[in-house]
Amino acid sequence: MSISRISLLELCAGDLGLGVAGLNIDAVVSSTSYTINSLADYIPEDKAAQDAYAYFKALATPVWRRIDTYGYPTNNNVIVSRAVTGVNANTAVDIFFMLNPDEMIGAINAALNELFREDRGYITLVDGNTKYDLTATLTWLTNKGQIQRTTFLWTDPANAVNVIESAIPARRLVEESGKVYIIIPQLPPDCTNTKLAVTARKYYASLDTDAGTTDCPPPLARAAGKMRILQELWHKIGSTRAKANFGLEMAVTEKQFAALRTVYNQDTITHDPVMEEAWVGPEVPVEQGEWPW
């Protein structure tokens, strides 16, 4: 199940009381003034629109503008800081408070970049070759700390459904010139039918457009996004004001996020036991740290 950036943005902001989604322009008064009648149901006073931003999400290239004034109760006209082209009656618009859309989107992307899922890649072994570039197959791999498990995967040439996965007696991970390599001093006897299976943490990528989607589980992405947005708010308005208005929300969100991290294994660290255990074999060092090369 995937979720789009605009959905994450609207959900996170709505949960925190920092946004109103699903509004439409009723009339275009000028290039900087728009009538949004339904806004009166959400912010029925002119001062409530201070530190607010209109996000014209339906445009080919979505833009946002700071709201200068809000005409309630005389009218429901929103006057923005700069002109916007392409806006017509029925154009969809979201309203965000305290943080502008770029700040919220930046917080959501930062949250996604800290979350991961397990992914697996398979490297073909070559007899006599003990060093392999893992990033050639796992192109998203950036450092050896992401790797959780490495195993040999042997497929029976007489029966392809007969697959045996076994531990690697010893191996070493090396970072060189932005790539991650694995060195295996003792290859399996049947390299032709054996692959190297690498399981690693694949961190979720940033979302560059509103339509862009992530396969990060929506509940986890939503909770992480809210945490980051609250942190951004802390920096922008100061801890005293933030605690007074969002202290309880911060505590509740942090608790929810911690629970979801456990559910989705974000706190699980898995490594090959062989990396910490002594192993005795031909031409292989007894301890991990005693590599001969």
Q: What is the pLDDT of residues 202-230, one digit of tens each?
A: 999 999 999 999 999 999 999 999 999 99
Smallest CA-to-CA distance from 101 within 8, 36, 213 is with 8
- Domain identity same for 129 and 191: yes
Does 222 share its domain with 188? no
Residue 285 confidence (pLDDT) above 50:
no
Which pLDDT value is given to residue 252?
A: 92
165 and 197 part of one domain? yes
Question: Does the pLDDT of residue 279 top 70, yes or no?
Answer: no
* Burial class for 103, CB neighbours closer than 10 Å (0-12, 13-18, 19+): middle
Query: Are 152 and 88 in the same domain?
Result: no
User: Which residue stretches of 41-126 are H helix?
Assistant: 101-113
Q: Do residues 196 and 223 share a domain?
A: no
Do 176 and 216 lie in one domain? The reply is no
- Of residues 290 and 117, the one with the higher pLDDT is 117
Q: How confident is the model at residue 292 (pLDDT cuts 50, 70, 90)?
A: very low
Q: Check pLDDT > 90 for residue 270.
A: no
pLDDT score, position 187? 93
> What pLDDT band is residue 179 in, cutting at 50, 70 and 90?
very high
Over residues 28-37, the mean pLDDT reads 95
Specify whether 70 is located in the same domain as 139. Answer: no
Which of 160, 179, 203 terminates a domain? The answer is 203
Q: Is 16 helix (H, G, I), strand (E, B) or coil?
A: coil
Q: Has residue 159 been placed in a domain?
A: yes
Q: Is residue 286 part of a domain?
A: no
Residues in the chain: 293
Indicate whether 114 pLDDT > 50: yes
Share the mean pLDDT of the chain: 88
Q: Which one, of 22, 41, 40, lies nearest residue 90 by Cα?
A: 22
Confidence band for 289, pLDDT divided at 50, 70 and 90: very low
Quick check: helix, strand or coil at residue 255?
helix
Asked whether residue 58 is domain-assigned, the answer is yes
Q: Which residues pair with 176 in a beta bridge?
A: 179
Condensed to tens digits (0 to 9), the pLDDT of residues 238-261 reads 888 888 888 888 899 999 999 998
Is 55 among the domain residues?
yes
Whether 8 is covered by a domain: the verdict is yes
Looking at the structure, tell me whether residues 198 and 210 fall in a common domain.
no
Which pLDDT belongs to residue 47? 72
pLDDT for the residue numbered 275: 43
Same domain, 120 and 173: yes
Residues 44-68, mean pLDDT to the nearest whole number? 88
Q: Rounded mean pLDDT of 43-57?
A: 82
Angstrom distances, CA of residue 263 to CA of 47, 57, 226, 267, 280:
42, 33, 18, 9, 38
Residue 164 dihedral angles phi and psi, to the nearest 5°: -120, 125
Taking 80 as the threshold, does the pLDDT of residue 269 lie above it? no
The whole model's pTM is what?
A: 0.83
Give the pLDDT score at 271.
52
Q: So what's the pLDDT on residue 243? A: 84
Statement to judge: residues 92 and 171 lie in one domain: no
Structural domain contains residue 281: no
> In the chain, pLDDT over 70 holds for what percent of residues?
90
Q: What is the token pair recorded at 283?
A: 């031409």
What's the total number of domains in the chain?
3
CA angle at 150 for the pair 147 and 152, rounded to the nearest 5°: 160
Q: Look at residues 140, 174, 203 and tell me which one is the last residue of a structural domain.
A: 203
Residue finishing a domain among 147, 176, 203: 203
Whether residue 141 sits in one domain with residue 90: no
Element (H, E) at 184: none
Instruction: Please indicate, yes or no, if residue 141 is contained in any of the structural domains.
Output: yes
pLDDT in tens, 70-88: 988 889 999 999 999 999 9
Q: What is the pLDDT, as a whole number, of residue 102?
A: 97
Backbone angles phi, psi at 221, to 5 degrees: -65, -40
Instruction: Report the range of poorest mean pLDDT among 107-111, 159-163, 230-234, 277-281.
Output: 277-281
Report the percentage of the chain scoring pLDDT > 90: 76
| Mean local confidence (pLDDT), 1-23 | 95
Structure tokens at 183: 């060195």
Helices (H), the chain: 5-15, 101-113, 218-237, 239-263
How much is the CA Rg of the chain, to the nearest whole Å? 27
Q: Give the phi and the psi of residue 257 in degrees, each rounded to 5.
A: -65, -40
The answer to the question of residue 293 being in a domain is no
Q: Which domain holds residue 251?
A: 1-15+206-275
- Judgement on whether residues 186 and 124 belong to the same structural domain of the protein: yes
For residue 152, give every residue at least 6 positions away whose Cβ sits within 8 Å of its Cβ, in sequence order, or none: 165, 166, 167, 168, 188, 194, 195, 196, 197
